[in-house]
Structure 1
Amino acid sequence: MDQIDSLHWYALRTKSRHEKVVRDQLDKQGIEPLLPTVKRLSQWKDRKKEIEVPLFSGYCFVRFAQHDKVPVQKVTGVVEIVGSGSRPEPIPEEEIDALRRLMTSVLPYDPHPYLHEGMRVEVVRGPLQGVHGVLLRKDKRHRLVLGVHLIQQAAAVEIDVRDVMPS
């Protein structure tokens, strides 16, 4: 089997709140979907209910061979297959395996912003809420060192990773 015919995982960008619809349609067509979900407590006026929501809002994963691209694109709710230009870009198998292991583990998990060194970030909680800076270091203790430019000087602060979002 050559590269074109082999199965690879891809990310599908979906219309808002269409992730489960896309997953179910792919499944019906015999195309393997993967939709990581997380349980959330939803509050209505009269009651609370636990619901399952997508871990990555607006995305569903799918495994297909390159020649099956058209049926995947035609699924209701699919906006695009994520990639560069008009070419879908495969997701490494180990990333999908890691997601599957997370989904089957008993550990609690939640979505988290994708952060990397050099990224502009904003503090969203705590005494520095609203401050913008550059993420200088992401270390093992899940702490961040944030560069804040004050009068063309830099100040570094250790801050909890949960208090920072990309800006």
Structure 2
Amino acid sequence: MAINTDAGVLKWYPVYTHPRAEKKAFSALVDKGIEAYLPLQKKLKQWSDRKKWVEEPLLKSYIFVRITNNHQADVLMSRGIARFIYFSGKVATMPDRQIEELKLLMASSLDLEVTEEDLQAGEKIKVKAGPLKGLTGEIISYRSQKQLLLRLEGIGCSIIVNVAAAFINRL
């Protein structure tokens, strides 16, 4: 299925999946030709008899799709998809910049922490060096450490990552 950009503008939408169905939903969307993004993070899991590295979704029950308004029904009819996320009565969209920053964070191979706490806004910064170069966000003091906060406004989550002070510029 090719997405016709004449029918509207391509936008990123956060989509809520059924519990623990993120990977199946992602595969179903890709099989339909829908551009989708599922941020996965490697974690070391401990069982009673062994340890194993597994890829888990960074944001539980969330996938991002890049579609026009006309293709929302195609997304909803995909296996594992529960619903679109709404904000102020409208389907929420994500700016391209936020998806690119999320991809940059995921490519950095850092251990990331996702929080739904409503953290207070702080000083705006841009990372000038290191694996997160170019990322913009806020500097916060969280759990007695200086960390970078990337807010995902459309879904009410924040991603926290440690960044050396020497690697940031004030905006």
Q: Smaller-chain TM-score range?
A: 0.5 to 0.7
Question: 1:34-85: per-residue Cα shift (whole Å, max 9, x none)?
Answer: 0111111111121110101000001111111100111101111111111247
1:160 aligns with 2:144: yes
Partner of 1:101: 104
The normalised TM-score by structure 2 is 0.65
1:112 aligns with 2:111: no
Partner of 1:76: 79
1:22 aligns with 2:21: no
Percentage identity across aligned positions? Answer: 30
Q: What is the alpha-carbon distance in structure 2 between the residues aligned to residue 114 and residue 53 of structure 1?
A: 21
1:4-19 mapped onto 2 (5 Å cutoff): 5-19=8-22
1:120-139 mapped onto 2 (5 Å cutoff): none
The normalised TM-score by structure 1 is 0.66
Partner of 1:142: 141
Q: CA 1:34–1:140 in 2, change beyond 3 Å: closer, same or farther? A: closer
Partner of 1:48: 51
Choose from 47, 65, 69 the match for 2:68: 65
Q: What is the alpha-carbon distance in structure 2 between the residues aligned to residue 13 and residue 104 of structure 1?
A: 23
Q: What is the alpha-carbon distance in structure 2 between the residues aligned to residue 115 and residue 160 of structure 1?
A: 17
Cα deviation for residue 86 of structure 1 reads: 6.4
Contact 1:38 1:110 in 2 (8 A): no
Moved over 6 A (4+): none
The CA RMSD measured in Å over matched residues stands at 2.5
Choose from 26, 34, 38 the match for 1:31: 34
Amino acid at match of 1:91: M
Aligned length: 126
Q: The residue matched to 1:26 in structure 2 has which SS?
A: helix
Structure 1: give runs of 5+ residues left out of the alignment. 119-138, 144-158, 163-167
Q: What is the alpha-carbon distance in structure 1 between the residues aligned to residue 112 and residue 37 of structure 2?
A: 17
Structure 2: give runs of 5+ residues left out of the alignment. 122-137, 147-171
Q: What is the alpha-carbon distance in structure 2 between the residues aligned to residue 84 and residue 115 of structure 1?
A: 16
Contact 1:9 1:62 in 2 (8 A): yes
Greater CA radius of gyration, 1 or 2? 1
